[in-house]
Amino acid sequence: MMPIMRNVILLLTLLLIIFADNTSGSEFYKWVDEEGVVHFSDRVPEATETPRNIMQQNEVDNNITHSSNINSVISQLKNPIKTCVDATFSIKGDQNLGTGFFISSNGYAITCKHVLESDQHYMAVLNDGSRYPIGIISINDKYDLALIMVIIYKKTPYLSIRDPFSMTPGEKVFAIGSSLGLQTIITDGVFTGVRENTSTKDNVIQFSAPINPGNSGGPLVDEQGKLIGVISWKIVSQNGVPIAGLGFAVPSDYMVKEYGHYLE
């Protein structure tokens, strides 16, 4: 091929790439077919694919120009629990250990009140190992909740909320926390139901995901990574007989009731 012709072809190819990169209004679709398979595509699903739960995201080209970014976005869509892990941190004091999670991008977070009862100074240990001091803003004795501020000088990932009363028994849930001092342990189980706590007459969420000391204050989330409760306690035995799979969490609507104006 002559050099001039080759240069013309290269120039035309370059112009096409530039034009494609600067086109606005690209669309991205996620849908689930009748067999439960999740699809990601830049085209509208055809009727023969019997799509349901179509989710359209407009102008994604502003955020995912390169294939590596596209893969990152798709990965997050496929695994929302990873985002929950990034929004969760360990709470370490001189004597106590627990878990907290962010509810806004500017450091506001939630944990259980009983996590903060033994020590005077606490540190938040994030998923990347970085440490930041914690300030206590509000303690709620009624619901065993606490609003805290992680003194961090960058934007933080945070959890979005789901009404626990929209859950149905058998839905999968994930408990995230610093189980036995290990960072961001994830266990899974199912949502059993919303029960009445006979001692307080308030509602609690019952779930089957295994939890251990250090999980208190951590998030209980659904499969989409939506917060449904704050892990609080479990029953370990009755009359000397060990019991497993009886964990309880403070419903997320109580958290919204008390600290909703801090949510983002």
Closest alpha carbon to 188 in 177, 204, 172: 172
Active site residues: 114, 144, 216
Place of tokens 């994030």: 126
Question: What one-letter code names the amino acid at 89?
Answer: F
What are the φ and ψ backbone dihedral angles of 191, each rounded to 5 degrees? -75, 125
Cα separation, 114 vs 94, in Å, equals 15
Cα separation, 69 vs 75, in Å, equals 10
Query: Which value, in Å, is the radius of gyration of the alpha carbons in the chain?
Result: 23
Cα separation, 108 vs 51, in Å, equals 39
Within 8 A by CB and 6+ apart from 45, the residues are 29, 31, 39, 51, 54
